[in-house]
Amino acid sequence: MIAPEIIESFSDLEDLQENEIKALATLAEEERYKPGEYIFQEDSPAAKLYLLLEGRIEMMMATNAEGTQRAMVMTVGPGEIFGWSSLVGPYQLTASAHCATPVRVVAITASGVRALMTMSCSMGYRLMQKACQTASHRLGATRVQLLSTIGSTGA
Amino acid sequence: MVTPEILTAFPFFAGLSETELRSVSIIANKASFQRGDLMFREDDIAHALYLLIDGWVDIVVNTDATGEQHELVTTLSPGDIFGWSALVDPYLYTGSAVCASPVEAIEFKGADLLGMFELDPKLCCVIMRRVCQSIADRLHATRLQMVSLFVAH
């Protein structure tokens, strides 16, 4: 569990009600990572929603079948939220989160967030809207990646 | 307006209550297009969300800064939802929609949807969740497409 003020400090979550913020805080833990570490890998089950407190994360997608080559599709900075796939089916991560610097994050158990969302419409709407935005960006980045893959393989 | 029965034929609207379906059908409008018509352009203000009823729609994106070069990224088929930027900040279309055949679609103006949501937050939640799911499904399908290209080479 973490202090509710930390959750509230994220602009995407500041509109939530006090009880919603408290509920999220009870589902959250702080985690620390070293530069070079991966918080999660593409294709694994998405179990947590992450709020970045300190550091920089590079979201990477595989560009070959073995997953040995990767392209960066976006970066995440302090104050931003990532791991949105934990809120939408099939709950599978669409990119790997690489720590470019030492990182401090708040990790929130996603099953708890999803349960809260079904009980609170305003929270559900707000989070879904943000998730839509991120999914839409990621879709754009994946399409660009797909086009360049088609270009390079001559498919 | 469009009858609720037409909407329930599509998975996107399955499971909604009678009242919810009625609310949605009141703001739904039928729209017809000819082959080659541009339904909307990338970067335009996203004024409407669409449900494709009949026909095929190509989604095309600009691949250079001048907007001269375009690439087809996907072709939509009946049942697909598109133009979701009408509900998602910054409310600008992320691709152009060109009719690959004669097209029948149901149009939901963004302003009407947001107005409906003010009156019924629960419906708002349901629709937003389904829109999110549609985008996520599209994302996973695109990734699978990409992975299949890796494997083939």
Query: Residue ranges of the domains in chain A?
Result: 29-153
Structure-token pair, residue B66: 């001048």
Residue B119 sits in which domain range?
4-152
Structure tokens at B25: 């059908």
> Is the pLDDT assigned to residue B54 strictly greater than 70?
yes
pLDDT of the residue at A32: 98
Work out how many domains chain B is built from and give that number: 1
- Cα separation, A130 vs A54, in Å, equals 21
Ranges of residues in chain A with a pLDDT under 70 are: 152-155
Superfamily of domain A29-153: Jelly Rolls (2.60.120.10)
Q: Hey, which of A140-149, B68-77, B81-90 has the most confident mean pLDDT?
A: B81-90
Burial class (CB in 10 A: 0-12, 13-18, 19+), A127: buried
CA-derived radius of gyration, chain A: 16
Residue B153: what pLDDT? 57
Instruction: Output the pLDDT for position B152.
Output: 64
Q: Which of A104-113, B10-19, B52-61, B63-72 has the lowest mean pLDDT?
A: B63-72
pLDDT in tens, B5-16: 889 989 899 888
Beta-carbon contacts of A39 under 8 Å, excluding residues fewer than 6 positions away, are A31, A33, A50, A57, A97, A99, A103, A105
Q: For A65, which of B84, B145, B150 is closest by C-beta distance?
A: B150
Query: Do A124 and B129 count as a contact with CB atoms less than 8 A apart?
Result: yes
Cβ B138–A133 below 8 Å, yes or no? Answer: no
> ipTM of this predicted complex?
0.78
Are B132 and A128 a contacting pair at CB < 8 A? yes
Q: What is the dihedral of CA B31, B33, B59, B110, to 10 degrees?
A: -20
Q: Is A37 helix (H, G, I), strand (E, B) or coil?
A: coil
The CATH number covering residue B55 comes to 2.60.120.10
